[in-house]
Amino acid sequence: MIQTLPTREAWAEAAAARLAAALAEALASDGRALFAGSGGSTPSPIYARLSEADLDWAGVTATLVDERYVPETSPDSNAALLKRALLTGPAAIARFIPLYSPAVTVDRAAALASQALAAKGRPLDAALLGMGEDGHICSMFPGSPTLTTLLTPGLKPAVYGVPAGRDGAAPPQERLTLNLPWLAAARRVVLALSGANKRAVFEREATGDPAVSPVAALIAANAPLEVFWTEAD
C-alpha cells in the first residue's frame, strides 16, 4: 500500500504524476475534472509540479479537502495556499470552489460549500491528502464531537463545520471539511507522507478502529487510496 520514494523530489514528482493522470482521464472522458487538495506545508512541492502538468486546466475545478474558518487574507488560509502553489501558470485558469464563505457561521458556510460541490454533479476525480501527527486527515480530528458524523459511510458527500477543540484539543480554530463519503467515492486519493514518524503513525492508524480512526475508516470504505512516502522530512 505504501510506495516509498528515495528523495523528496521523487516523492513530489510521483504524487503529482498520479494526480495529473487521474485528472487527465476525467478530462478525456467528458471534458471536466474535479480536484480537492489539502493545506499545510507538505503539499506545496507536489502542487508546484502538478501546476505544470499538460492538462486542459479550463475544464478543471479545484477545491479543498478542508479549510480553516478564515478569509483568504489570513496566513492560515488553505485557499490562499492552493491558489499560490497550484493555481498558477497554466493552472491559473482552473475554477476554484472555496469552502469558506464570509459573514456567515461555519455551519452555514459548510452548507453553501456542500451545495456548490454537489452542483458539479460528479465525484472527486482526484484528491490529495496529508495526515497529522495525531492521525487526522482533512479536519477529522480524534476526539472531535463531529468525528462520528464525518466518518459515517452511509451519508451523502457533504461539507461539515468542525468546532474548535476545548482544553487544548485540536483543532485550535473552527474548520470546514469534506466527509468520508466524498473520499470514498473519489476516483483516486493520494496520501502524501514524509518522515519516519508519519509512516509509523499511518501504519498504526491503518489497523485501528474505523469508527474512530480516519485512516482506518478510509481503508474500510475501500477508498482508492495510494500512499506516497519518503523518509526525508
Q: What is the pLDDT of residues 178-223, one digit of tens each?
A: 999 999 999 999 999 999 999 999 999 999 999 999 999 999 999 9
According to the model, what pLDDT value does residue 202 have? Answer: 98
According to the model, what pLDDT value does residue 137 have? Answer: 97
According to the model, what pLDDT value does residue 164 have? Answer: 92
According to the model, what pLDDT value does residue 42 have? Answer: 85
Domains and CATH numbers, the chain: 2-230 (3.40.50.1360)
pTM of the full predicted structure?
0.96
Please enumerate in sequence order all residues whose Cβ is within 8 A of that of 180, keeping only pairs 6 or more positions apart, or say none: 140, 150, 151, 152, 153, 214, 217, 218, 221
Cell readout for 21 is: 493522470
Residue of 182, 207, 198 lying closest to 40 (CA atoms):
198
According to the model, what pLDDT value does residue 96 have? Answer: 98
Spell out, as residue ranges, where the chain has pLDDT lower than 70. Answer: none
Please enumerate in sequence order all residues whose Cβ is within 8 A of that of 199, keeping only pairs 6 or more positions apart, or say none: 2, 193, 229, 231
Asked if 36 and 64 touch (Cβ cutoff 8 Å), the reply is yes
Q: Which residues pair with 37 in a beta bridge?
A: 64
According to the model, what pLDDT value does residue 158 have? Answer: 98
According to the model, what pLDDT value does residue 40 have? Answer: 82
Cell readout for 220 is: 474500510
